[in-house]
Structure 1
Amino acid sequence: MSLPPPIPGRRYTSRRAWAPMTDAEWAGILPHLRTVVMGEGRPLRDARHRIDGMFRVAVSGLPWRTLPEEYGKPDTVSRHFRRLAHMGLWLRLVGACADREASPALRRIEYFICRAARRAMRILGQEGAMAVNGIGMLTALPVWPIYLRRPAVLAQVTAMVSAWLAPFRRRPPEDFPEKEMRSWLRVIRFLEGKPWHRRWAPP
């Protein structure tokens, strides 16, 4: 997942209540949408209205079934959202917001974009989260940064625990350091990172 260099400093995006996109805000999104879609499937009759609906759900954090039918059938909108996530739209838009040259119109809907990207992390997983973390757009993370996977540290700790356990494989079962092992397992689970969860997500 290739994203542009980050703006100096990691940051959270200020909250903004959902509202339909203005013409200028839609104009900021449209080139990125055209780039990722590139003629795949049937043309969307009203892409702007559909993406407004996606932003509405993303900002509210509510289930897709709460989306008013004026935006289309909730299941249809949800499938389209997932398809755009697989195509890379939400990560692309987060990267565009992190760009120093981002337009004022795009910055105005940065919170909408970050929340949509965060919702897409259920699909994109740890790889997507690490990409977003790398450019410092923290509101798009599915969990607070402390809960993200730490691959390098995890590899070191796993190797260290394996070496520590080696002598116990030749000892009687009653010599196994069960209490210490439980502690190390908690450390390993923490370093593996947590999945997407509202409880651990930034505001």
Structure 2
Amino acid sequence: MPPDFVARHDLWRRLYLDPLTCLTPAHGWAPMTDAEWTAVAPYLRALGCGLALPGRAGERMADPRARLDAIFRAVTLKRPTAPGGHGGGGRAAWAALPAAFGPADTVSRSYRRWAHRELWLALLWAVAQPGAPAALRALTWRVCCAVRRGIRIMGLRAVVLARRLRLFSALPAPSPWLPDPELSELYRPIFLRVADRLLAQPAWRPPRWLFRLLRSMQALCGGRTRLRRDWEPA
């Protein structure tokens, strides 16, 4: 391994410091303000999410603002803690959405449709931009909650984008426990050097510490196979 490998790629910050220090503070839910809705509405319109432009593909609904508020309310709900302190933590089921926001099934269908239209990824990118309006940045935590709720729909690119933007609250679990294809590319030359030496020197056997290191590197790249709901950040 090159002696400057860890420092050159700033791995301590990438793997351990940023996931701890770049979490978006949670806050109490409230309906969007007029300024927040004005800032976010163009993204819904551009992607046909309840505000489709005439002649363009997309859905139109009577009150897309209320639907977006309902989605934000649902994705920010947490499971209650059972008596004795067991069973709490992690996101709540869609059925926990209060009836005042409309049928939970309807709200969840809109959420999934908008995830397929890439609304949540577009908003995650938007709130992270230095020049984003203050009203849009105020939605950062709610947008992060929306993204991590739909990781299964949006796939690995959502994980990669959240890391690049350093919005780790958009991840459904601690970053080192999720697949990391970019880290895999950093580690690839190390694995290739070991493989090349094995081919060039068949009698050579890597020391145990190297095997342990390679296993740890592989585990960091691949992430964990199962993620529990209560691993989500606040």
Superposition TM-score, scaled by structure 1 size? 0.76
- Percent identity at matched positions? 34
- Which residue, 126, 136, 139 being the options, matches 1:96? 126
What letter matches 1:15 in structure 2?
A
Query: C-alpha distance in 1, partners of 2:105/2:188?
Result: 40
Change beyond 3 A, Cα 1:29–1:196? farther
Shift of 1:49: 1.0
Shift of 1:98: 0.8
What secondary structure is seen at the aligned counterpart in 1 of 2:141?
Answer: helix
In structure 1, the residue matched to 2:97 is 67
In structure 1, the residue matched to 2:229 is 198
Change beyond 3 A, Cα 1:82–1:156? farther
In structure 2, the residue matched to 1:151 is 184
User: Mind listing any 5+ residue stretches in structure 2 that lack a counterpart?
Assistant: 1-17, 78-90, 200-209
Superposition TM-score, scaled by structure 2 size? 0.67
In structure 2, the residue matched to 1:111 is 141
Give the count of matched residue pairs: 190
Contact kept, 8 Å, 2:128 with 2:137, in 1: the verdict is no
What letter matches 1:151 in structure 2?
S
In structure 1, the residue matched to 2:67 is 50
Matches within 5 A, 1:1-40: 11-37=22-48, 38=52, 39-40=56-57
Shift of 1:29: 0.9
What letter matches 1:62 in structure 2?
A
The structure, 1 or 2, with the larger RCO (C-alpha pairs under 8 Å, 6+ apart) is 1
Query: C-alpha distance in 2, partners of 1:50/1:161?
Result: 54
Query: C-alpha distance in 2, partners of 1:121/1:33?
Result: 20
User: Mind listing any 5+ residue stretches in structure 1 that lack a counterpart?
Assistant: 1-8, 167-179
In structure 1, the residue matched to 2:9 is none
Which structure has more helix as a fraction of its residues? Answer: 1
- Which residue, 156, 166, 188 being the options, matches 1:136? 166
Change beyond 3 A, Cα 1:109–1:48? same
